[in-house]
Chains A and B, each alone.
Chain A
């Protein structure tokens, strides 16, 4: 799952995908296409080795419980506090939120983005939908947003910047090195969001602008 050329290691940032559950493979493919060295992360020592992390789509209750059960929750919080770039899609957005409006008992988040999210806000699977989303910091037209039992952002604090909204509800948010979308760019073949994130990781790691886009766009 890692790009095998060792010469790339100095140029390409190592981006992990939290692989406890969810659409891990799609994120690995999108990150690789965006120029990152993509690896899976299931253990604290694997987390310690990456320059950036993606928390994938999946079931947020399951991912949260497994992160606690396998001793990953505190290391995740420590690294986020220390400035690790993290991108979360759907369940990953929930994991990055400081608050959940209606959490299941015992559901913890990593936190880091000053926002409160509402789980399954757009409805159940029958209401899951696709729509074009204009995303600040992404050039070349709107991104195709795939919303699956998706959350939306109920409220954001002063530190967080809303990058996109749908029907009045924020669905993409950034706070410093943390990025979150309620939708799933990894299901579309459009890698612009992953390029934006890979650039954020490269910038934080002090490496060159690997994806060739404006590093730190939207900041």
Chain B
């Protein structure tokens, strides 16, 4: 790719450029809205995702369903694998670091990924601290199960939030729970007067300024996607109707019978999330969906959403 470093000034048409600003980081996520971000483990899968209309791919070594099956410590993916995927597609490429493993994040930034997911799907590296995300030019997306958690991540520099759900289960119930929780807490803040916002910030364990901003905006100050359990076009449309601005689909696509067809169908249902006729058409003849897991059957150690705080 031919690039011109934009770091020098141009006397005739502009002044010195700034990279890695909050506006550029958050603005990148704004461009993904209404779209589907798909987990892929090979360059071939990345191309299928791009051809199906994915707005970005998440490069990882094993999809969450396989991480569950295989057990052991789940880490950042092999740099060769990530580079192979970056070379295979023109859409943005995201990759996951372990919670608190800022060196994995440094490596991902050096590889040139477009977004870093500090993810509970991998085994946490630090049980107290998340990574300082302001230290990076590459923007971060982080998971959250409630508003306080989302705002703590934003306070650490996250430029995008995804509700966590329960990755690798093919069961949308936790994604629904977390999206309803976040949206419900935002709606409640809208009704508070200024006096009440201080106590709300204390209860949410989040900075007052961010709580006041959410109360004024009626939404997070960054883009909110949904993740963890989306397996069908109807699941994707459900999450959008519940307020998600887009969806991450992990195991749901490449653990199904006909990934290319299912991927394209989920993209269509995400765009026309409020049109049941389109969703019905997109849901036809997709072959087998991934086999789901009942979340109540998961032992505590297998609940990824409990990782992070």
Contact = CB atoms under 8 A, between A and B. Distances in A.
B53 to A, nearest CB: 4
Interface of B: 1-8, 10, 12-21, 23-24, 27-28, 30-35, 50-56, 90-92, 109, 112-115, 137-139, 264, 267-268, 271-272
A29 to B, nearest CB: 12
Contacts of B8: 167
Contacts of A58: 31-35, 55
21 contacts: A20-B271, A22-B33, A57-B31, A59-B32, A59-B56, A61-B90, A62-B54, A66-B271, A125-B28, A125-B139, A127-B3, A128-B19, A128-B27, A142-B14, A148-B31, A149-B31, A149-B114, A165-B13, A166-B10, A166-B13, A187-B27
Contact of A119 (B4, B90, B268): B90
Contacts of A169: 4
A147 interface: yes
A59 B54 CA distance: 9
B14 A42 contact: no
A149 B7 CA distance: 15
A59 B27 CA distance: 13
Interface of A: 19-26, 42, 57-59, 61-62, 65-66, 69-70, 90-91, 102, 104-106, 118-134, 142, 145-149, 164-169, 184, 187-188
A185 B307 CA distance: 38
Contacts of B10: 131, 166-168
B34 A19 contact: yes
Contacts of B7: 129
Q: Max chain A CB contacts within 10 Å: which of B27, B109, B114, B267?
A: B27
Nearest to A20: B271
Contacts of B90: 61, 102, 104, 119-120
